[in-house]
Structures are given as C-alpha cells and as structure tokens.
Amino acid sequence: MSSDRVLDINLLGNPAAAQTTLATGLPDSVKPVIDAQDVTLYVGDEYDTKQGVTATDDRDGDVTNLIQVTANDVDTSQAGTYHVTYSVKDTAGNTATKTITVTVLEGDWTNYQVGNVTDIKPIVPGVITIEGQTDYDLYSQIPEGTKIYAEAVRTNDGFNRSIGRAEIKYGTGTFSITVFKNVNLVEGDKIGVYLSAINGFEEKRGPIFTTVVSANGPVSE
C-alpha cells in the first residue's frame, strides 16, 4: 500500500494520525535545540560543563545524553572570560552547536560577608575540644587568599576572651577547636564561637553563636 493510500485512510478515520503520518513521512531537516546559559564563577570554584545543559529534538525528543563538549578553555584558577562549545546530533544526522561564555571573577573582599556558625556540639565541664558546624560548603564563594577560622571565646563577665582557634574545613564546613591548656571550662561558663575571615592584613568577623557549658547536655542561648 502506498504512503498516499495510508494517508487517505488516516484522514478518513483519524485526523491526528494523519498529521503524524505526514510529518514522519517527510525528510527530517530540523536541528536539535541546545539549552545552555552563560555562567559566572569565582576563582577556585568547581565547574561541571554539562550541569544544567539540555537538548531536545522535534522527533527524537530528549537528546541531552548525546551532547558533546567540543571546545572548553575554562580555567577557574584565574579570573578571565572563557568559552564552552556544545554539539549534539539527532538520528537523522542534523547537528546543532552552541557556545556559551563563562566568566571567572576574583572573589570580592570588599563586599564579602563572613558565614555563620550553625551548630556547636554539647560542651561539658573539663572538655578540651569544641566542635561544630558552619554554613561553608563546596559552593561557598570565598575571596582568593582568604582563610576562615572558628574562634572560641569565654564571655562570663561580658568580655570576649579567646580560649582557642582553628581553621575550618571548606568542604564540610566543620571545625574542631583545641582549648588552650591554661583554660578549664566549668559548669555555667558562657562560650561563644564566631567565624573570622582573614585576607592579608584585613579581618572580618561573623555573628557569634553562644552556648553554655553543662554536664546535662546541650544548652544554647
């Protein structure tokens, strides 16, 4: 049976099917469409070239898994303007390409806001280590050359006296502060921990997280 005859039958019984038959019977000359947007990063950021990039084809549907990166000069170790080029081909051989711009910026110390201590493990009398969590993770945008420390202070009389300091781990955001040897923490001591960002000779501090030494478990203020 000829294609014209199939089309005639479909037209009589199913107009929708007729449209499909007509469309699929024609040569496929339509390229897929790549959806990829320009990206802004900061020095030191990790970058996945395919994250958020998709592609669709009018006949093959979702062809995201067929996307190829054909050019990529991105270097996140230094500020600059870079480009990534994508290519995707449908089953008919139609090829689409798209190039995006990737801008890598220096961390902005002037506007940088220091993160927060989000949790401190219970502090009991005589403890020599203060451990906790911050909101820094792998995606935190930290100005180049900056180090972040967790500072523990005792605030019993309203004055902040340092009792220990430790650099935080960016990937997990955790800290473990060893209390100075001459410090003995007792029941009722008020302990605060804040983050300190140091870049060269400049320092910025985040908000203080306060808790109380207690033999009965966690106490927060």
Task: Give residue-wise pLDDT tens across range 162-202.
Answer: 999 999 987 789 999 999 999 999 999 999 999 999 998 99
The tokens describing 15, both together, are 């107009």
| pLDDT at site 98 | 96
pLDDT at 82 > cutoff 60: yes
| pLDDT at site 5 | 43
CA distance 119 to 123: 12
- Domain span at residue 42? 31-105
Residues 66 and 151 in one domain: no
**Looking at 51, 81, 105, which one is the last position of a domain?**
105
Q: How many domains does the chain have?
A: 3
Residue 125 in any domain: the answer is yes
Residues 67 and 38 in one domain: yes
Residues 9 and 88 in one domain: no
What mean pLDDT do residues 57-63 have?
94
CB 134 within 8 A of CB 168: yes
Nearest to 135 by CA among 115, 108, 151: 115
Residue 111 in any domain: the answer is no
Residue 110 in any domain: the answer is no
Residues 56 and 88 in one domain: yes
Block residue for tokens 């306060």:
210
State whether residue 84 is helix, strand or coil: strand
In this structure, the number of other CB atoms found within 10 A of the CB of residue 8 comes to 12
Residues 93 and 17 in one domain: no
Residue 218 in any domain: the answer is no
pLDDT at 41 > cutoff 50: yes
Query: What spatial distance separates the first Cα and last Cα of the chain, rounded to whole Å?
Result: 83
**Looking at 49, 84, 105, which one is the last position of a domain?**
105
pLDDT at 6 > cutoff 50: no
In sequence order, the 6+-apart residues with CB closer than 8 A to the CB of 80 are 103, 104
State how far the alpha carbon of 132 is from the alpha carbons of 23, 177, 205, 210, in Å: 62, 9, 17, 12
Task: Give residue-wise pLDDT tens across range 119-169.
Answer: 999 999 999 999 999 999 877 888 878 899 999 999 988 788 999 999 998
